[in-house]
A and B are shown apart, each in its own frame.
Chain A
């Protein structure tokens, strides 16, 4: 009889250091989720501040506050920060926090990898914003001024800000891929007994498809920006027409990633929105299978519609027709989702706490985003709308209303579970109304100026657009300042407040609500079995 020692995998389950080392070395899914969410909130404020600078410049015609180059830099970095450093980490934060709880797993499948995935993010955020600081000391000419799309030839000719952005995008991509791999392995291999795929919460489905999309498309973006880098510094001519390259190929590469990216940002939200609806409607989710199949359909269609982002670049007519119809086809599974969401509420015993307010508001505003997208999918109409403020308003209805307001719904829904305290409901509702109203005040005028022909990405504009831009700027500042209330609500909820019950919401369903609020550091002391 000899002494035997067994080690299965790394011992993250029992390691609970304190202080700064807890956060640097943690492999606990809740800690990492918290870090993702915190990072996301900080970057959301940074990106938001940048756009307020832009809106301040656009308050009146003429150049008041900044030169056009700096204006362009703010626009590009704002977009990259909001997409890669605010929205994506927020969704990943929820995935880390909630997926193991929802599928009955002790933790994520690859906890160490999870830690690395997060700690790649802060350096990449620094890389993105550092050129602004360097320019103050006379190094370089600021951040990238190409918009978030890096289109050549502008990006080939740009300053060091483009290089910084390329490396930042690489790091952000690595982080996303590590997170995706972890999520796929966790969902596939760490489910509790009885938790079949078709019994999984919708959020898990949303994230599984998101992870597949990331795995499929991140290499394309990585390849594209690397080719851009070699064009800039190593004498290649992938995208340089003067050397036989093709700048339109970059657009294909970029949008092959860029369009699925829209769904990468939205699918996790589409996952938990029905869960919120069923909770506050106090009845089971309607059309679970239909929703799962719709998510898969959208995921599949997402990778075959990319060229609708550059209809005006000069494609053959058959290609234009194909991309138009395939883009419009996405509205079919999305219509199924909308129907299921509304049917979930139908004849339910509804109450309108803050998460439900945000969710109902989200359905309406995201619906507007979807419908205006359908307009843009029309090749003939797009010739007029392309590169106008109509596009800007459309994608803010999808990515702010559809993405960020969805995330806010999730924050209010799960914050009591995460912190063990109820947030201030009155302030939460105030935050919703301020956000919803000021958002519309900001972006409805942009539809109008877009239809009237105002191009995007210009620091100065014709006098005819002055009034609408003024209204839009006022709305943007109210919207921006409203988010300080959001930060206050979160901080005060983390610090204390009325004790949250384990179930938190009367109609809440799912494994995460069987745990205490906040859940113990190691979630399940008894293995949950799903019947």
Chain B
């Protein structure tokens, strides 16, 4: 998910589910599947239980994997003569600042036609939008940033 305005670019993974709604969903699945498995256990078909348990563990794991990153974001903000890059991964926030005048925006071609977007100056660089943007979006952000930086010079 990418949003761009004149002074800010934010990219984050799609995250339409709240933790509360996911917990409700998992609880209802647990109750529903659990009741079915217990009912069959009651009549002697106990082998349903391990399969149901295994499946529920998989569902929980899938949501854990996805929700762990649902709060992640990357943000580029222009503050006066500086560009600030803020990156939040698993709740850990990192800030990096560069002077606009010296900042360079680089799009690098990698393997399989994959591009990467780098922002930096004086041999220090930060990669932006690695897992949340595709090539076209990276190009779009790069040209947008270059345009803004040009205005500041």
8 Å CB contact of B14 from A191, A238, A253: A191
Residue A492 at the chain B interface, CB threshold 8 Å: no
Provide the bound-state CA to CA distance between A139 and B96, in Å: 68
8 Å CB contact of A11 from B17, B25, B130: B130
Q: Is the CB of B45 within 8 A of A249?
A: yes
A223 in contact with B45 given A4-B96, A16-B112, A110-B66 (CB within 8 Å): yes
Residue total for B at the interface (Cβ-Cβ under 8 A): 65
Q: Is the CB of B69 within 8 A of A216?
A: no
Most-contacted residue by chain B among A13, A178, A192, A230 (CB, 10 A): A13
Provide the bound-state CA to CA distance between A246 and B17, in Å: 44
A14 in contact with B113 given A8-B132, A249-B45, A527-B1 (CB within 8 Å): yes
A4 in contact with B126 given A184-B59, A227-B45, A249-B45 (CB within 8 Å): yes
8 Å CB contact of A526 from B2, B85, B89: B2
Residue total for A at the interface (Cβ-Cβ under 8 A): 60
User: In the assembled complex, how far is the CB of residue B103 from the closest CB belonging to chain A, in whole angstroms?
Assistant: 12
Q: Is the CB of B15 within 8 A of A189?
A: yes
Q: Is the CB of A188 within 8 A of B55?
A: no
User: In the assembled complex, how far is the CB of residue A61 from the closest CB belonging to chain B, in whole angstroms?
Assistant: 42
User: In the assembled complex, how far is the CB of residue A308 from the closest CB belonging to chain B, in whole angstroms?
Assistant: 18
8 Å CB contact of A220 from B36, B58, B66, B85: B36
Residue A157 at the chain B interface, CB threshold 8 Å: no
Q: Is the CB of A6 within 8 A of B45?
A: no
Q: Is the CB of A226 within 8 A of B14?
A: no
Q: Is the CB of B127 within 8 A of A9?
A: no
Most-contacted residue by chain B among A6, A9, A253 (CB, 10 A): A6
Q: Is the CB of A9 within 8 A of B59?
A: no
Q: Is the CB of B15 within 8 A of A8?
A: no
8 Å CB contact of B59 from A181, A193, A195, A252: A181
8 Å CB contact of A525 from B37, B97, B137: B137
Chain B hits for A185, CB < 8 A: 62-63, 66
Q: Is the CB of A223 within 8 A of B69?
A: no
Chain A hits for B134, CB < 8 A: 13-14, 106, 522, 525
User: In the assembled complex, how far is the CB of residue B63 from the closest CB belonging to chain A, in whole angstroms?
Assistant: 6
A9 in contact with B69 given A16-B112, A219-B37, A222-B51 (CB within 8 Å): yes
Chain A hits for B125, CB < 8 A: 3
Most-contacted residue by chain B among A5, A215, A219, A253 (CB, 10 A): A219
Chain B hits for A178, CB < 8 A: 58
Q: Is the CB of B59 within 8 A of A188?
A: no
Residue A381 at the chain B interface, CB threshold 8 Å: no
Chain B hits for A220, CB < 8 A: 36, 40, 48, 51-52
8 Å CB contact of B48 from A8, A181, A195, A223: A223
Q: Which of B23-74 contact A (CB under 8 A)?
A: 25, 29, 32-33, 36-37, 40, 43-45, 47-52, 54-55, 58-59, 62-63, 65-67, 69-70, 72, 74
Most-contacted residue by chain B among A185, A193, A226, A230 (CB, 10 A): A185
User: In the assembled complex, how far is the CB of residue A254 from the closest CB belonging to chain B, in whole angstroms?
Assistant: 11
Q: Is the CB of B112 within 8 A of A189?
A: no
Residue A113 at the chain B interface, CB threshold 8 Å: yes
Chain A hits for B67, CB < 8 A: 189
Q: Is the CB of B89 within 8 A of A6?
A: yes
Provide the bound-state CA to CA distance between A113 and B13, in Å: 18
Chain B hits for A252, CB < 8 A: 43
User: In the assembled complex, how far is the CB of residue A264 from the closest CB belonging to chain B, in whole angstroms?
Assistant: 15
Q: Is the CB of A9 within 8 A of B55?
A: no
Residue B140 at the chain A interface, CB threshold 8 Å: yes
Q: Is the CB of A191 within 8 A of B51?
A: no
Q: Is the CB of B115 within 8 A of A190?
A: no
Chain A residue at minimum C-beta to C-beta distance from B139: A525
Q: Is the CB of A189 within 8 A of B17?
A: yes
Chain B residue at minimum C-beta to C-beta distance from A170: B51
Provide the bound-state CA to CA distance between A191 and B66, in Å: 13
A527 in contact with B51 given A6-B131, A109-B66, A253-B45 (CB within 8 Å): no
Chain B hits for A2, CB < 8 A: 96, 124
Residue B135 at the chain A interface, CB threshold 8 Å: yes
9 A-B pairs besides A4-B127, A215-B55 with CB distance below 8 A are: A2-B96, A6-B127, A6-B131, A9-B13, A181-B58, A185-B62, A188-B25, A190-B14, A249-B43
Q: Which 10 A-B pairs have the closest CB atoms?
A: A8-B131, A223-B48, A219-B51, A522-B134, A14-B114, A191-B16, A219-B52, A223-B47, A189-B17, A525-B136
